[in-house]
């Protein structure tokens, strides 16, 4: 089973965001093993040690990354797993983003939009899109 790790700065303060994360954690459990590592948000380089110690495929979420469709994200995950990748990490920076040296450690840069989203909400958006990708890969009815 694929291991997906989300390395993110800060904690979720709002209960509605925590509830959404719990829901997607439950849904994703059918497709992957999900872990979320929260890092104290104190600098652009806060996630450095977590990212540098992760040995799998690393995806930085950043505004200058590649904008892809839900279907393309599903295809990317499917190709990675078909090629033997067993661990994927998504890195969500804090309110100031991610340091360039951390982005350079990543295999891929992904942008969800040219818009800026609060990093707490981005966690929920990422989980929803990851779940959507798995439903596409597995031909489930969720994605329309």
The answer to whether 26 and 64 have CB atoms below 8 angstroms apart is no
Model confidence over 69-81: pLDDT tens digits? Answer: 999 999 999 999 9
Indicate the pairing of strand 87-92 with strand 2-9. Answer: parallel
The CATH class of 2-137 is alpha beta
Model confidence over 76-133: pLDDT tens digits? Answer: 999 999 999 999 999 999 888 899 999 999 999 999 998 888 889 999 999 999 999 9
Q: Residue ranges per domain, the chain?
A: 2-137
Residue 83's pLDDT is what? 95
The answer to whether 113 and 10 have CB atoms below 8 angstroms apart is no
State the pTM of this model: 0.94
Output the six-digit token pair for 75: 């295809």
Residue 144's pLDDT is what? 65
C-beta contacts of 96-103 below 8 A and 24+ residues apart: 96/44, 97/44, 97/62, 97/63, 98/44, 98/47, 98/60, 98/61, 98/62, 99/43, 99/44, 99/45, 99/48, 101/45, 101/48, 102/44, 102/45, 102/47, 102/48, 102/51, 102/60, 103/60, 103/62
Model confidence over 25-56: pLDDT tens digits? Answer: 999 999 999 999 999 887 777 788 899 999 99
């Amino acid at each position: 089973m694929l291991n997906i790790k989300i390395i993110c700065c800060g904690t979720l303060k709002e209960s509605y965001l925590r509830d959404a994360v719990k829901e997607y954690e439950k849904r994703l459990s059918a497709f992957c093993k999900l872990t979320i590592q929260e890092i104290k948000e104190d600098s652009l380089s806060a996630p450095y040690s977590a990212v540098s110690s992760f040995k799998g495929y690393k995806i930085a979420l950043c505004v200058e990354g590649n904008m892809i469709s839900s279907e393309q994200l599903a295809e990317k995950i499917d190709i990675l797993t078909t090629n033997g990748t067993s661990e994927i990490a998504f890195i969500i920076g804090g309110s100031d983003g991610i340091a360039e040296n951390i982005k350079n450690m990543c295999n891929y840069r992904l942008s969800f939009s040219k818009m800026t989203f609060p990093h707490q909400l981005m966690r929920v958006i990422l989980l929803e899109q990851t779940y959507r990708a798995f439903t596409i890969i597995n031909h489930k009815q969720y994605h329309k």
